[in-house]
Amino acid sequence: MVMSEASPIDRMIADLIAEVGPEHARAVLEERIATCTVVELAALLENWRLWARPKQLPPVGEWMSWGFLGGRGMGKTWSVSRFVNEEVAAGRARLIGLAAQDEANSVALQVNGENGLIATAPRHNKPVYHPSKLELEWPNGATASVRTPEVPGKIRGPEYDIFWACELQSWPAATMLEAWDMIEFSTRVAGRESPSRIVWDCTPKRGHPILLARLKEAEESPELHRIVRGTMRENAGNLSRGFVAKMERKYAGTTRGREELDGEMLEDEAAATVAQTVIDRYRRPMPARFRRRVVSVDPSESARGDAVGILRLGLGDDEQAYVVANHSAKMSASTWGALAIDFYMLDMCDCMVLERNAGGDMVVETVRAQIGKRDILVVVLGKDDRAPPHNPRIIYVREVYARESKAVRASAIGTSYEQGMISHVVGADLSSLETTLTTWVQGTTRRSPGDLDALVHGVVELLGLATERVDHSKGVSGIMTAQRELMKPSHGAPLTSLLVGRTGRGRTV
């Protein structure tokens, strides 16, 4: 850990270890802890500034907004919730607004999370959550109301002392800019002991308009709009053992790693799902044989006739996913159903992957309707069923329901490209798909690229991939463990004896 980014507690322990060695340092600390009363230890634990790294502390002076734009696990949520509780306890914040990507996530992260407002509040001022009102209430009368960017109109009205906007990168593209406007209108009051302020946190997301606006704002008025940048690596001491190393092995050097581990806000040219240079680097000739073949379909979600995604893919003996052909276009349900059947038989596929978000059960029924008089049976595979080898009389269907946002799915597939797991077949006409992959950026358009989703579902089927979320509750597990240890019953000396006392070798700690 870089000492300039260490907390006061970390620096104290590091100095002690440097002086007396790790074993004797442990003995000294245990001796100091044993002499403290429970009340003294509780007071130490609730002084969160002793545990926070410098980047986790609120800015000094007057400011309008304070934002965390950094890697996952940086300790953003812990820091903001501690700050809000501190302002409430000091009487500087009576009305707080809360918003994550939706109400459920706001409650899970900001209210009830392991690093949320209830968990980080001091014991004498613990708030109580009232689900029926979506409201958190502190003993001193302060309240925090859960709002959602999905309905910007519900944000306006109250004049908040603090508004905490959480996980900005995940806010819905259609309403996030209006929601931010409502937050600014609702934190306009000056002349109090502490003026209204906005605090926000997020992981960088390529080309995200609301984040780009925050960066521009901070560049133009740095004294009023403070932004903290940081990486997951900086908070390694408070994350699960081995977690950072695992994430580095999996994502280091990829676009996703640069965003989610390093907290890097990529420029527009790096904002697309995949760079053309990456696609070209792993382009390969058609294999002599495939271990598996699939046809993947993303039906149109719009009655206006958005493009249907239809891709033909295969798994080689080299465990590589190959994109063989792209037939995505605007077409009727009967047309795409007939094409999917023809490609299934032509390629001797073992599975047809169908996204059912748009049509539900009607997606499979569309395929059945196009069977006609052919003696072919359509069988829907169970969630854990493996697709049997090709059978010319049976079409095996894997139904997929895309629960993650398109941006999350695109990010996962982009990482697979960068790790050399996906190849486009040399000579195949994939220019339209490659245009989607190299130009589509979250939040810049409402167009729904069906070819991208068809690609994602087909590759996931062939490679057995799954999107993976970082567990935010691990963000400060090291601190929580230390706190539990310190709270063991004890009695005796003043609190200062823990931080300022004799080591037995003439040095204070």
Q: What is the pLDDT of residues 41-66, one digit of tens each?
A: 877 878 888 888 888 899 988 899 99
410 — pLDDT class (breaks 50, 70, 90): low
Least confident of 231-245, 302-316, 464-478: 464-478
Residue 52, domain member (yes or no): no
Residue 98 and residue 127: Cα distance in Å, rounded?
A: 14
Answer yes or no: do 247 and 130 share one domain: yes
Return the pLDDT at 322: 98
Residues 348 and 379 both lie in one domain: yes
More reliable by pLDDT, 401 or 154: 154
Closest by CA position to 308, among listed 459, 414, 453: 453
**What's the pLDDT at 18?**
86
Domain shared by 227 and 326, yes or no: no
Do residues 298 and 257 both lie within one domain?
Answer: no
Model confidence band, residue 267 (pLDDT cutoffs 50, 70, 90): low
Half-sphere exposure of 265 (CA within 13 A, CB side): 21
Tell which residue, 416, 430, 215, has the closest CA to residue 319.
416
Task: Say if residue 258 is in the same domain as residue 139.
Answer: yes
pLDDT of res. 269: 47
Predicted pLDDT of residue 285: 95
For 180-208, write each residue's pLDDT tens digit. Answer: 999 999 997 654 566 789 999 998 876 68
Same domain flag for 479 and 429: no
Domain assignment present for residue 437? The answer is yes
- pLDDT, residue 87, reads 95
Q: Is residue 37 part of a domain?
A: yes
Q: Which carries the bigger pLDDT value, residue 227 or residue 487?
A: 227
The answer to whether residue 304 scores a pLDDT higher than 60 is no
Residue 508 lies in a domain: no
Distances (CA, A) of 116 to 111, 163, 449: 5, 14, 36
Same-domain pairing of 457 and 478: no
What are the pLDDT digits (tens) for 319-328? Answer: 999 999 999 9
Split at pLDDT 50, 70, 90, the class of 494 is very low
Higher pLDDT, 330 or 494: 330
Measured at the alpha carbon of residue 270, what is the angle toward residues 181 and 318, in degrees to the nearest 5?
A: 130
> What letter does residue 110 receive in the DSSP assignment?
I
Q: Which residue has the higher pLDDT, 277 or 294?
A: 294
Which of 236, 268, 300 represents a domain boundary (last residue)? 268
Is residue 472 scored above 80 in pLDDT?
A: no
pLDDT for 177 beyond 70:
yes
Determine the pLDDT at residue 189: 65
Sheet holding 309-316, edge to edge: 377-380, 394-400, 351-355, 290-298, 309-316, 321-326, 422-424
Write down the pLDDT at residue 204. 84
Per the structure, the complete domain to which residue 319 belongs is given by 272-463
pLDDT, residue 490, reads: 45
pLDDT of residue 479: 44
Q: How far is CA 391 from CA 44, 106, 382, 385, 388, in A?
A: 69, 48, 18, 16, 8
* 247 and 298, same domain (yes or no): no
The confidence band for 478, taking pLDDT boundaries of 50, 70 and 90, is very low
For every residue of 162-227, DSSP letters joined together read EEEE--GGGS-TTTHHHHHHHHHHTS---SSSS--EEEEEE---TT-HHHHHHHHHHHH-TTTEEE
Q: What is the pLDDT of residue 305?
A: 60
Mean pLDDT score of the chain, rounded to an integer?
82
Lowest-confidence range among 272-281, 285-294, 434-443?
Answer: 434-443
Which two three-digit tokens encode residue 171? 């806010």
- Tell me, what's the pLDDT at 151? 94
At residue 84 the predicted structure's pLDDT band, cuts being 50, 70 and 90, is very high
**232 located within any domain:** yes
Q: What percent of the chain has pLDDT over 70?
A: 80
Residues 146 and 236 in one domain: yes
Q: Is residue 175 part of a domain?
A: yes
The more confident residue out of 153 and 467 is: 153
DSSP reduced 3-state for 245: helix
| Residue the block writes with tokens 């870089």 | 2
**Interstrand relation of 65-70 and 225-230 (parallel, antiparallel or unpaired):** parallel
β-bridge mates for residue 379, sequence order: 396
Q: Which amino acid is at 195?
A: P
In this structure, is residue 352 part of a structural domain?
yes
What's the mean pLDDT in 120-133?
94
Identify the CATH number of the domain in which residue 416 sits.
3.30.420.240
pLDDT bracket for residue 229 (50, 70, 90): confident
Cα distance between residue 294 and residue 24, in whole Å: 63
pLDDT of residue 466: 57
Domain count, the chain: 3
Q: What is the mean pLDDT of residues 240-252?
A: 75
Looking at the predicted structure, is the pLDDT value of residue 484 above 80? Answer: no
In a shared domain, residues 15 and 66: no
| Lowest pLDDT segment from 131-145, 254-268, 317-331 | 254-268
Neighbours of 492 (CB within 10 A): 10
**Whether 205 and 343 share a structural domain:** no
So what's the pLDDT on residue 495?
39
Pair 197, 291 in one domain: no
Q: Which residue has the higher pLDDT, 409 or 162?
A: 162
- Judged against a pLDDT cut of 60, whether residue 445 lies above it is answered with no
- Locus of tokens 């059912």: 356
Q: Which of 207, 233, 268 is the last residue of a domain?
A: 268
How far apart CA 112 and CA 110 sit, in angstroms, is 6
Residue 334 lies in a domain: yes
